[in-house]
Amino acid sequence: MNLDPFDPETLVHGTIATAFLFAVITFFTRAKLRRILGVLAGSLLLIPMVMFYDTIAARFGWWYYSSMPGGAPGPFAWYVSAALFYGAGLGLIGWRVIRRFGKRGLTGFLIAFAAFGVTRDYIFSNTMGGIEFGPGPIPVIADLFAYASPAVVVQLVMYWFAGPPSSDPLARTQPTHAKLSFRL
C-alpha cells in the first residue's frame, strides 16, 4: 500500500492526531506550565533542524521523500507534527525518564528514542512508501543522528527553560495519610 503521507488531508489529520497525543502525554506526565512551554520551545527548534537534515540526506543520497520533487524536504505540516509528537510529546516522556533514572535515564532515553525513530522510518519505508533509503550503513547512522540530536536539543532547551528534571513538584497536594472524620 503506497499511501502518500504528504497528501494535504493526511497532513491535517496527522497534525490533529499529534496535537491530541501531545495533550494526552502532557496530562499523564503531569507537566507544569513552565515544563510544557520549555518542551514546546525546544520542539520549535526541531523543525528547522530536521528540515536541514532531510535536505542534506537527500543531497548525499541517504534518504529522500519520493513524493517531493528534487529531494526537497517534506511539507511544513509534516515537521509540525513531528515537533508535536516526537519533540514535545516524547520529550516530556524523556523528562520523566531522566527525572527517575538520572544520567542513565538520559542515555537510555536517547538510545531508545533514536532506535525507535530509525525502526519507524524503515517500517514506514517498507510498508507505506514515501521515504526511500540509500544502501549501506551510512543512511542508518545518519538517521540515528537525525533522531538523537534533536532529542538532545529538546531536553537542553527544556532544562534551560524549566530547570532540571527534578525541579518540578509531582506529588499531589493532599497527604496520603489524611485523617478521616465523621460527623453525625
What average pLDDT is seen over the chain? Answer: 88
CA distance 70 to 73: 9
Averaged pLDDT, 167-182: 56
What pLDDT does 48 receive? 96
User: Above 50 in pLDDT, residue 139?
Assistant: yes
In eight-state DSSP terms, residue 88 is I
Cell, residue 19? 496535537
103-123: per-residue pLDDT in tens? 999 999 999 999 999 999 999
- When pLDDT is cut at 50, 70 and 90, the band that residue 177 belongs to is low
What pLDDT does 20 receive? 96
Sign of CA dihedral 154, 83, 54, 136: positive
The β-bridge relationship of strands 131-133 and 63-65 is antiparallel
Neighbour-count burial of 57, counting CB atoms closer than 10 A to its CB (0-12 exposed, 13-18 middle, 19+ buried): buried
More confident residue, 73 or 162: 162
- When pLDDT is cut at 50, 70 and 90, the band that residue 129 belongs to is confident
23-67: per-residue pLDDT in tens? 999 999 999 999 999 999 999 999 999 999 999 999 999 999 887
- When pLDDT is cut at 50, 70 and 90, the band that residue 5 belongs to is low
Averaged pLDDT, 157-174: 80
What pLDDT does 173 receive? 46
Q: Are 23 and 149 in contact (CB under 8 A)?
A: no
Q: What is the CA radius of gyration of the chain?
A: 19
According to DSSP, the residues that pair with 132 across neighbouring strands are 64
73-104: per-residue pLDDT in tens? 888 988 999 999 999 999 999 999 999 999 99
Among 25, 40, 22, smallest CA distance to 157 is for: 40
What pLDDT does 106 receive? 96
The pTM (predicted TM-score) of the whole model is 0.84
